[in-house]
Amino acid sequence: MASSVTSHAASAAPGSAAMAGGERPRSLRLVREGRLDLLREEPLEPARRSYGRSGDTLLHQAARNGHRDVLAYLVEALEMDLEVFNSDYKRPLHEAASMGHPECVSYLLERGASVDCLKKGDWTPLMMACTRQNLEVIKALVDHGANPLLKNKDGWNCFHIASREGHPHVLQYLLDVSPGCWDTESTINRTPLHTAAMHGCLEAVELLLERCQYKPDSRDRCGVTPFMDAIQKGHVDIARLLLEKHQEGHTHTIQRLLSLGADLQAKDGKSRSALHAACAGQQAAAARVLLQAGLRDAPDGTGTLAQQLARKPDVIQVLQETSVST
């Protein structure tokens, strides 16, 4: 598909520079504002005319701004091409999907727009829709045959993208319509669980652990695990969840983090440390490694010490053996 994009780009190149440096016409402003009544009175625009460095056409502007009636006028009355693309190879469908405009998306699909067309970086409209949480748009694309398993140039499919955004209802829907979409890695071997943990998407991590079969210590090309991502970014609540779900204790992971210079004193938004995570997860070995590395207990945002979260005898013993408080 990438080669076809390139060949189309070559054929469209002469028109892509139109109006690049000059004054933009009134029709462009009217399309952005959705003023179909005034637009009808304007002189006809060349079907493939584009504007500025982006190379956007009037169709791109109508789709991006969610003006279905204007979109229909441009397609039906002026016979503009549904598959026209800008300098990033974005089609109008990419624009409507990325901005979450269900009426425009449905109109373009019903008129025959290619549902899995590629923009720069091999992003499909479905991938772009998954950067938002408008499930109506995502469903419309899937209902018209969008393939959830396609990957962009970085090896991300739409499930990976939705995991970065952390919208559980989108992830739930994708798993329902494509049960195997979770089983994916990027070009550097990062899973959606890595991505959700790194970006602090707690609800998404909970869902991924519940419905997907990720290996507890899956490593990307650099040897980083989801637990490491969570700790390095200060998402202690997610680190604690990973400890609770995977009972290995992650001692080797913690040791590797420390050897890489990770901030031992990192805290999340509720002022909880990695020691809070280890104690809440009842991980004696993890708590021992952290204490031996020099981490000391301190109250979180609610005044709770990590040692107050310990319940298992072996965890309590580790804390008693070490002076954990500053």
Instruction: Residue 280: name the closest of 297, 260, 264, 263 by CA.
Output: 297
Structure-model confidence comparison of residues 93 and 241, the more confident one = 93
Angle between helices 236-245 and 202-211 (to 10 degrees): 10
Residue 76 and residue 247: Cα distance in Å, rounded? 61
- What pLDDT does 4 receive? 42
- What pLDDT does 225 receive? 85
Instruction: Residue 310: name the closest of 291, 326, 156, 93 by CA.
Output: 291
The single residue listed with the structure tokens 């990033």 is: 88
For the stretch 194-247, pLDDT in tens is 999 999 999 999 999 999 988 767 889 988 889 888 877 888 888 878 876 655
Which listed CATH number (3.40.50.300, 1.25.40.20, 3.90.1300.10, 3.40.640.10) goes with 220-326? 1.25.40.20
For the stretch 118-174, pLDDT in tens is 999 999 999 999 999 899 999 999 999 999 999 999 999 999 999 999 999 999 999
Helix H or strand E encompassing 320:
helix 313-321
Cβ atoms of residues 250 and 217 within 8 Å: yes
The encoded tokens of residue 86 equal 């800008």
pTM comes to 0.72
Beta bridge partners of 297: 325
Amino acid at 168: P
Q: Supply the DSSP string of 190-201, one letter for each residue.
A: --HHHHHHHTT-
Domain residue ranges in the chain: 220-326
